[in-house]
Amino acid sequence: YPLIFLFFPKKPLSRKIIFLFITAISLGYCVLGEFEKNSIAYFSTMTRIWEMGFGCLLSVNQDKIVQLINSRNGNQSKLFTFLQLLNVIILTFFAIKFTGKDYYPGLYALVPTLATVLILISGSKSYVNSILFSSRSIVYLGKISYPLYLWHWVLLSNAHIVLGGVISSKIRIIL
């Protein structure tokens, strides 16, 4: 995506069209991978780039989104708070309902991706964002989540090698 900004610095419409095209192709490829039920779709950049594409489309359309939000009369914070609460309910339901038997990424990945877009659009106007996601503990968790994600895979892989196969649930939880 950064290369698109490099090659089309003065043509925002061209960038938007290219972002939309790449995002749509990647999502289509991801959904096709869902029907094939193979793990390639999970690990392939081509089947996952659409998730980042949503963020890119949001970024290049940010001015229009802000204008649309500001042009509406009424209390946007109430609307955003309602949408965020709905978002939290949907994500909680999805986290509980989702099992390892469900194919992911596929269409299931639309739920957390669209939820993230909604969080980003709502910004600080939402009570949920300004209170919950701005709390020190949540911000700290956000800062350490990716490093923890990276480290836990190393630990799990080494445990798999050392223990010679399947790792018990207790050891997984400890690691």
Token pair for 121: 């659009």
Q: Reduced to 3 states, what is the DSSP secondary structure of residue 77?
A: helix
Token pair for 18: 């290219």
Inter-residue contact 84 to 126 (CB < 8 Å): yes
Find the helix or strand (DSSP H, E) in which 33 lies: helix 12-36
Predicted local confidence at residue 109, as pLDDT: 83
* Cα torsion angle, 102, 172, 157, 141, sign: positive
Q: Reduced to 3 states, what is the DSSP secondary structure of residue 10?
A: coil
C-alpha 107/C-alpha 27 separation (Å) is 9
Predicted local confidence at residue 102, as pLDDT: 67
Residues 6-57: tens digit of each pLDDT: 776 677 777 788 889 999 999 888 887 766 666 677 777 888 889 999 988 8
| Backbone φ, ψ for residue 44 (5° rounding) | -80, 135
| pLDDT value at 73 more than 60 | no
Nearby residues of 105 by Cβ (< 8 Å), 6 or more positions away: 30, 33, 34, 41, 42, 47, 48, 51
| pLDDT value at 142 more than 80 | yes
Predicted local confidence at residue 54, as pLDDT: 92
Residues 75-131: tens digit of each pLDDT: 666 777 787 888 888 888 888 887 766 667 777 888 888 888 888 887 766 777 778
